[in-house]
Structure 1
């Protein structure tokens, strides 16, 4: 009992059986309708012919009397030698006057309608099944006209045999079709399951095969592969971030521990303890900033806050943020100018302001005195771009791709001043808005730009 139960629980078996049952039922319904329609058509045709002959013979009787009717029946009997036509004319006592039947059927009253019965054929003496109708004539003669039903019964048997064979063929065809269908479907599902098993085993590089047919399975496979690419990217970023956290936070935490130890040293001077306390507070503030930025990056990467998108006047937002940084820029003898316009677009206003602030802070960190920072706005096919261009030393081309990685600080001298998370947050905000972060050297200077989808 275990094997049949397992077989029935198999989705492929259930799908094949369902396809077979539905196809066979539909074929049986169609063939049944054909059978019934054919039988009714033949029967109606037979009744129409018999009714017409009865009417014609009655006309012969009214014009020529009984003798004329007998002669007409004899002529029709001769003409019907190779056909299935049957005729019988009797007097009121039941004596046969004309026709090719031996006797009047028992229990049949003239005019009783259409009947199916067995009678003896006069020419051969054999019993035949007939379908007939009868009438009573004015002088009480009885007239019966019918057709041999053997041919129709034979046709019924042929039709039934044909229906049976057609059902068997439909059953076999539906079984084959169901098997082919399930093989196609489950082979693609098997690809997905195998890929999923490999990924669960730790091979994040595995992807679902795309066969190039362009069908719905290929479209689903491509969508799942895109999702897997994104998952692999996020996991890679998570691993890199985790490793970076472990590496980059070790130093400030070690320094913080040293400061706290010095505070607990009774031999240290009061002035030293005050200096160590100030440095410890600075280290704590630095760590809090790091964790705050990590939280913001995680929220942006997860898409949290999309429900807070609004119609943002990007030009006004850029003016407000640049005005806030103009005093800082003036202290460094740097001028900030705005070029172009972008209009309005959907976005998270506080995060967009944070992204522009990070870009400006990064540019001001490296902008030489007497230089100009340019905030450029432009509409492009993909949406809008927001760029910050400085006239600083730029970045080595081979390191441009690392700018948006967490905890990456390309200037070792500034490691204590920067956590290396500012541009990583900018890139996360850009992705949250359906865009991307790019950096390119301008020689002199660096252009850092984000593209936002409309």
Structure 2
């Protein structure tokens, strides 16, 4: 009993049963319509033929009288057996005048419409099912014309058996079809479930299997794989960030502790105390700056702030940022130049300004004196691109993919000025806007690019 209950609760069993039930209902409905339609067509044809014969014989009676009617019926009798035709003409008292039926049916009045009954044939004295119609002639005579229904009943039985056989075959085919369908569906689901179990166990390198058919399962698997790629990337970033936080904050906090402890030394001069306080404040500012940037990265990666998206003219945004950094670039002997244009986009104006500022600061950090930093705006592959290129030494190729990771910097040691979070924030802002961050060496220089989803 428990095994039966488990079997009925199984999704595959329920799906096969549902498929079988619906297929059976549909097939039964179609076959029932065929059966009823065939019977009604045959009955309508029989009635039409009998009515036509009654009308013809009545016309014969009007033209030639009773003798002419008897003669017309006698002409039909030799071929009546082939047509299953039945005729009976009686006088007003019910005495048989001509026909292949023995006697007028009891309790049936002439002209009572279409009737189904059993009558005895005159040629073989057998009781046969009859479908017939009758009329009373002007002279009081009664005329009955019908058809032997035995053949039609035999046809009904054959048709019913055929319908039942077709229904049985449809039932078997529905079970086979349902089983094959569930085998296909659940084999794909089983593959996905097996992969998901491996991922839950901690193997984040696993991906949903693709069969290359391009069907809905492949589409779902592809979407899940994109999600897993993003999750793996975020977890990797989280591990890197956690390790880097432990490294980057331990040093300033240790130095801050030393500065605070030094303040309590009794032989400290006021000048030394002021220096220690200033240094302690600098360490606090550095920690707060790192934590603030990490918060901004986390919010951008989580997509917080999308409700503040607005239509942005990138040329205007770039112009505002360049105007702000022009004096700084001039002091360093670097020129800022803007090229290209692009349609307006939907975005977070403050964060995009921050991203461009980070790219410019990074470029100015490595740009040689008397060179230009180019800010380019354009579109490519369905994305709006915002690029910053310097003419500096570039980046070792193996470091290009690591630039967007938190706490990654080309400086041998991270300083208060550069904690290695600027490009990580740029990458998070790009992802928040439906794009990605990219970097490439241009020989000379490095080009960093923000890809942004276009306005829809």
* TM-score band w.r.t. shorter chain: over 0.9
Distance 1:282 1:46 in 2: 109
SS of the counterpart of 1:146?
strand
Shift of 1:450: 2.6
Assess, with a 3 A threshold, how the Cα gap between structure 1 residues 27 and 277 changes in structure 2: closer, same or farther. same
CA distances 1:194-225 after superposition (whole Å, capped 9, x unpaired): 12111111111111111111112111211111
Assess, with a 3 A threshold, how the Cα gap between structure 1 residues 53 and 166 changes in structure 2: closer, same or farther. same
Report if aligned partners of 1:259, 1:276 keep a CA contact under 8 Å in 2: yes
SS of the counterpart of 2:344?
strand
Distance 1:399 1:48 in 2: 93
Gaps of 5+ in 1: none
Aligned to 2:375: 376
SS of the counterpart of 2:386?
strand
Aligned to 2:94: 94
Report if aligned partners of 1:373, 1:388 keep a CA contact under 8 Å in 2: no
Report if aligned partners of 1:387, 1:449 keep a CA contact under 8 Å in 2: yes
SS of the counterpart of 1:80?
helix
Aligned to 1:437: 437
TM-score using structure 1 length: 0.94
Distance 1:157 1:281 in 2: 102
Assess, with a 3 A threshold, how the Cα gap between structure 1 residues 449 and 119 changes in structure 2: closer, same or farther. closer
Assess, with a 3 A threshold, how the Cα gap between structure 1 residues 410 and 57 changes in structure 2: closer, same or farther. same
Distance 2:151 2:72 in 1: 25
Report if aligned partners of 1:60, 1:68 keep a CA contact under 8 Å in 2: yes
Aligned to 2:223: 223
Distance 1:315 1:39 in 2: 80
CA distances 1:411-431 after superposition (whole Å, capped 9, x unpaired): 225534321111111222222
The root-mean-square deviation of aligned C-alpha atoms, in Å, is 2.0
Distance 1:264 1:355 in 2: 43
Shift of 1:409: 2.4
Shift of 1:267: 4.9
**More deviation, 338-347/146-155:** 338-347
Gaps of 5+ in 2: none
Shift of 1:58: 1.9
Report if aligned partners of 1:50, 1:133 keep a CA contact under 8 Å in 2: yes
Question: How many matched pairs?
Answer: 452
Distance 1:282 1:238 in 2: 27
Aligned to 1:284: 284
Distance 1:414 1:23 in 2: 70
Assess, with a 3 A threshold, how the Cα gap between structure 1 residues 374 and 150 changes in structure 2: closer, same or farther. same
For 1:100-111, list aligned pairs within 5 A: 100-111=100-111
Assess, with a 3 A threshold, how the Cα gap between structure 1 residues 429 and 322 changes in structure 2: closer, same or farther. same
CA distances 1:265-319 after superposition (whole Å, capped 9, x unpaired): 4454443333222211111100000000001111111222222222222223223
SS of the counterpart of 1:298?
helix
CA distances 1:146-170 after superposition (whole Å, capped 9, x unpaired): 1111111111111111111111111
TM-score using structure 2 length: 0.93
Aligned to 2:164: 164
SS of the counterpart of 2:77?
helix
For 1:47-66, list aligned pairs within 5 A: 47-66=47-66
For 1:335-350, list aligned pairs within 5 A: 335-346=334-345, 347-350=347-350
